[in-house]
Structure 1
Amino acid sequence: SWVSVFPSPEALASSHLAEVLVRWKGLGYNRRALALRNAAARILSEFGGRVPQAEADLRSLPGVGAYTARAVRAFAFGLPGVVIETNIRTVFLFYFFPDREKVPDRELEPLVEATLLREDPRTWYYALMDYGAALKKREPNPGRRSASYSRQSRFEGSHRQVRAAILHALSGRGPLSPRDLGEAVAEEVGPYADAPDFGERLSRAAEELAAEGFLELGDDIVGLKT
């Protein structure tokens, strides 16, 4: 598992990007794995290898915003604060906004704050998350009434699939020539590689990944950054 392979910031920060991406597969967007690795390096260099507790310090780390910082404080350190994720949001929309659409989180925040079990936020939020998941199974999903609700687009044939296929090929096979990389990606995306704009999409995805810190692009070779 992820935690057994990378049990500490030091272990993650010192790992090769290829191994990080292989271990991350199936856990979410690849950019989050890169952000975690970069955050681990910052934790080593600026916080003595210990995850900081202050929200401002957490938000200074790569890829960490308000939600992640507050979630870390609540779940890792048992510190009170407003945490709103999809299942918690579902509970509050179901009970407090049964007839409203496009409800923004700013209207939920005072309610989450007022009902928070401050002496044990970790257990309280776990309970809310479980309850929200159960509500979705028995009710029309209340989360759809949130202003932040959106349905994720189809993965197959998408730009996201091309990006993921590039990273999968390079993490599994090592550096490749542009031609070999194109063939590897085409093999993974299947019939979607027959689209007339596939080459353009492949180039655009590779350039994006390089700009984000994943790849090193050469004239004759493409590889993951170390």
Structure 2
Amino acid sequence: MPLTQDACPVWPCDDPDRDAFIAQVRMQGARLYRDLPWRNLDDPYAVLVSEIMLQQTQVARVGRFWERFLARFPTLDALASAGTADVLEMWQGLGYNRRALALKKTADVCAAERGGTLPDTAEELQALPGIGPATAAGVVAFAFNRPSLYLETNVRTVFLHELYPDCEGVSDKQLVPLVADTCPPDDARAWYYALLDYGAHLKTQVANPSRRSAHYTRQSAFEGSRRQKRAELVRVVLAAPGITADELAVRLDEFERAGARDGVDAVIFDSIVADLVSEGFFRRDGDVFLP
């Protein structure tokens, strides 16, 4: 029977001990090294774009989007100068369009207040739109190669697999001091990439250890969801600027029925559209919608 959280060990552990754990991660990281396009960069903006794109999106899908996005918006100033519609257009296919809006807002703030540069501390980064603790720590570690507390799903997977193999409901409160303690002062970048490479591999070999985290939640189905309807409405308005409300409703209804789902009633349609307008995805001008 799996141990409860209270019965699980806390660092330091006897098996493996701290040094053995670090050696294991470094060995596996070297063996499983992934040659990713955003790896070993010292451009904080490029790293930030990769970290935001990788949120809830598989690495294999992110590569081409990251390269295309940076080719179009190579700097924070370039992104700040772009229109929201152009940014959303370049984001299409990645999903979670809120990430694109938050990234654009961050660029706007940095262009207006920081001379087009990102701050270099986790605290200052978290004050920007859409940047949470893990994203901020990732920028500090990967762009500035400084110690940070980077706890995301693959990192969590390694700690749970190696240190808590028989535990259920392990909290991040337990993991945080371990992550902080093992991050080296001189090469945080290489250390966290070793954790990421090893964690990604573990997910293909064993039952995902991150499911034993107290914070694990299964992602809700996308098909038929409100999130999918939102994404389709954004796509249609970007592709057909000036579309009327009635036509937009028809297009969404057709999209749902093509997926063998019921059509969308007026109340749901109006609610989703109102949310998208208020969040800045597109605007309403009389009876038409514009990017």
Q: TM-score, normalised by structure 1?
A: 0.93
Are the counterparts in 1 of residues 253 and 263 from structure 2 also a CA contact under 8 Å? no
Are the counterparts in 1 of residues 243 and 288 from structure 2 also a CA contact under 8 Å? yes
Alignment partners' CA distance in 2, 1:170 and 1:143: 38
Q: Which residue of 2 aligns with 1:48?
A: 115
**Mapped pair 1:63 → 2:142:** no
Larger RCO, structure (CA 8 Å, separation 6 or more):
2
Spell out the pairing of 1:132-151 with structure 2 (5 A cutoff): 132-151=199-218
Corresponding letter in the other structure for 2:93: G
**Mapped pair 1:127 → 2:205:** no
Q: Which residue of 1 aligns with 2:61?
A: none
**Cα deviations across residues 24-79 of structure 1 (Å, max 9, x unaligned)?**
12334100000000100000111111111022221121111212111111111111
Q: Which residue of 2 aligns with 1:36?
A: 103
Alignment partners' CA distance in 2, 1:176 and 1:125: 47
Q: Which residue of 2 aligns with 1:178?
A: 245
Alignment partners' CA distance in 1, 2:129 and 2:260: 33
Q: Which residue of 1 aligns with 2:229?
A: 162
Q: For residue 222 of structure 1, give the secondary structure of its aligned residue in structure 2.
A: strand
Alignment partners' CA distance in 2, 1:99 and 1:54: 36
Alignment partners' CA distance in 2, 1:184 and 1:45: 38
Q: Which residue of 1 aligns with 2:289?
A: 222
Q: Which residue of 1 aligns with 2:15?
A: none
Alignment partners' CA distance in 1, 2:78 and 2:275: 27
- Compared with structure 1, are the counterparts of its residues 89 and 182 closer, same or farther at alpha carbon in structure 2 (3 Å cutoff)? same
Alignment partners' CA distance in 2, 1:173 and 1:77: 42
Structure 2, unmatched stretches of 5+, are 1-67
Q: CA deviation at 1:20?
A: 1.0
Q: CA deviation at 1:200?
A: 2.0
Are the counterparts in 2 of residues 103 and 147 from structure 1 also a CA contact under 8 Å? yes
Are the counterparts in 1 of residues 110 and 117 from structure 2 also a CA contact under 8 Å? yes
Are the counterparts in 2 of residues 18 and 170 from structure 1 also a CA contact under 8 Å? no
Corresponding letter in the other structure for 1:164: A
Q: Which residue of 2 aligns with 1:80?
A: 147
- Give me the identity figure in percent: 43
Corresponding letter in the other structure for 2:113: E
RMSD: 1.7
Q: For residue 131 of structure 2, give the secondary structure of its aligned residue in structure 1.
A: coil
Are the counterparts in 2 of residues 20 and 33 from structure 1 also a CA contact under 8 Å? yes
**Cα deviations across residues 178-226 of structure 1 (Å, max 9, x unaligned)?**
01111222333334686365322221111111222222234411222xx
Q: CA deviation at 1:2?
A: 1.0
- Compared with structure 1, are the counterparts of its residues 194 and 139 closer, same or farther at alpha carbon in structure 2 (3 Å cutoff)? closer
Are the counterparts in 2 of residues 59 and 66 from structure 1 also a CA contact under 8 Å? yes
**Cα deviations across residues 150-193 of structure 1 (Å, max 9, x unaligned)?**
11111111101110011000111113110111122233333468
Structure 1, unmatched stretches of 5+, are none
Q: TM-score, normalised by structure 2?
A: 0.73
Q: Which shows bigger deviation, 16-25 or 193-202? A: 193-202
